[in-house]
A and B are shown apart, each in its own frame.
Chain A
Amino acid sequence: MVTASELEETLRTHLREDVLEFTLARRNRVFSKVRNGSHRQAVKLFQDMGGHLSVITSVDLGEELELVYHFELHPLQVSLKTSAPRGNPRIETISDIYPSAAWYEREAMEMMGITVVNHPDPRHLFLPDDYTEYPLRRF
């Protein structure tokens, strides 16, 4: 059992000024944004707390592309965000920490065109192999 204030304290102790946002919403939903690169450290902390990775969402913010990692840290539901510039959207993989992230990252790569660095298997998952567009991007 971890409370939102404990989680915020842990994140701020380890990541310091790399924690850009931290909000607690209704029904134990936590939304937090961290600087690109330090998300791996946060994910490792969540793993030590016994976190369960639900899914990874990719979002087009216009200037930037964002990945949202959804974790269950009982009783909290944590959404950890990190973003990279649209021109060079490189975000490092977390599939070595959570193996099930590999497929979610493959989906983010093909649908949103985010380059997941050090991914073990960067093939397309849902789209045909020769498909070159990124359908979830906004124009």
Chain B
Amino acid sequence: MDVVVQFGPQHLALAEPERLRVHAEGEKVVNVDIAMGYNHRGIEKLAERKTYEQDILLVERICGICSMSHPVAFTQAVEDIANVTVPERANYSRMIIAELERIHSHLLWAGIAAEIIGIETLFMYIWRDREFVLDQLEIITGNRNHYAWNTVGGCRKDITEKHIPGLLTALDVVERRTEYYIDSFLRNRTIKARLVGTGILPREDARRLCTVGPLARASGYAVDVRKDDPHLAYDKVDFEKIVLDEEDNMARAKVRLLEIIESVKIIRQAVTALRELSGGEIAVKVKQIPPGEGVGRYEAPRGEVFHYVRSNGTFYPERVKIRAPTYANVQAVPVMLQGDTLGDVPITLASIDPCFCCTDR
């Protein structure tokens, strides 16, 4: 007999409101219907009523975790319209903040995954180490999230020599601890029992449903905007695109944890480059945005953030379209859940690292 189980809008496994209507036969999931919109704030409409400078701060507030990714994608689109080339130094400093954001977002995810699996000690440990990154972000930008780092044409603030020793020390700590967590995820019996072989998203489905980010890369669909459409200084640093073909929840955990190590590598190279560029400009002045259209893409921690901006030559944009990674990925959840048991629903949903405030806007 078909039973309908409601997950949400308020659910223990979710930090944000979202409703899943899970059709089950006994313990087995047959179909899933997803209802969105509990977090809809009309940001796209609001963006048409604000100036470009104000919009940067507005899109930053779409999400607390991706608060660097959205402005980077938005400014990219606007800088394309204005035909502005951002100074090298601004590119590197934007990249450092964005990669620090990736590290703390992936650690946040690993902690939540540990908690959903039921290992609260691991959750506490991981979130303690995430604080090292947040502290650095606070020292450099003045805030743990919502950095207000970007402006059209560059950065508003600069990373100076006094920030660098603390940053490098924090990176050493995070790298060492992440290696320990990779080892824990790979060896712990409980984690393996919950993650291996659950929430399978076949490679063909990942491609067909146009998924992005770690979800796609864990299913062998190698999309990464940092490599495919390099922006900032990603074509000047050496790092690996982590792609696995195991297709299950464990692969997604591995992709994220291994990406932390890659992010540490990127930041170290960027710091070296920044030291060589010391004294350089951090922003160019942009007077007016001409009519036109631009597309900005950035690989946020959860996947590709997509911004489309259309300008009509006034101070206000004609249209701003924002597509967050979860919007693309959540459509794969019904495929991932089919055939699994009801007990796997929370961890499989969490494995896409959902961000519903990004999706609803």
Contact = CB atoms under 8 A, between A and B. Distances in A.
Interface of A: 25-29, 31, 52-55, 57, 59-60, 68, 70, 72, 74-75, 77, 79, 98-100, 102-103, 111, 124-128, 135-136
A29 B80 contact: yes
Given A74-B228, A77-B229, A55 B321 contact: yes
Contacts, number: 77
Nearest to B80: A26
Given A54-B210, A100-B209, A103-B327, A77 B297 contact: yes
Contact of B306 (A26, A55, A127): A55
Nearest to A28: B229
Interface string B320-358: 010100011001000000000000000000000000000
Interface residues of B, number: 31
Given A54-B323, A59-B310, A136-B44, A26 B83 contact: yes
B55 interface: no
Given A75-B228, A100-B209, A100-B328, A52 B223 contact: yes
Given A54-B210, A57-B319, A103-B327, A79 B40 contact: no
Interface in B1-46: 36-37, 40, 42, 44-45
12 contacts: A29-B294, A52-B223, A54-B210, A54-B323, A70-B306, A75-B228, A77-B297, A99-B209, A100-B331, A103-B331, A136-B44, A136-B45
Contact of A79 (B36, B210, B293): B293
B295 interface: yes
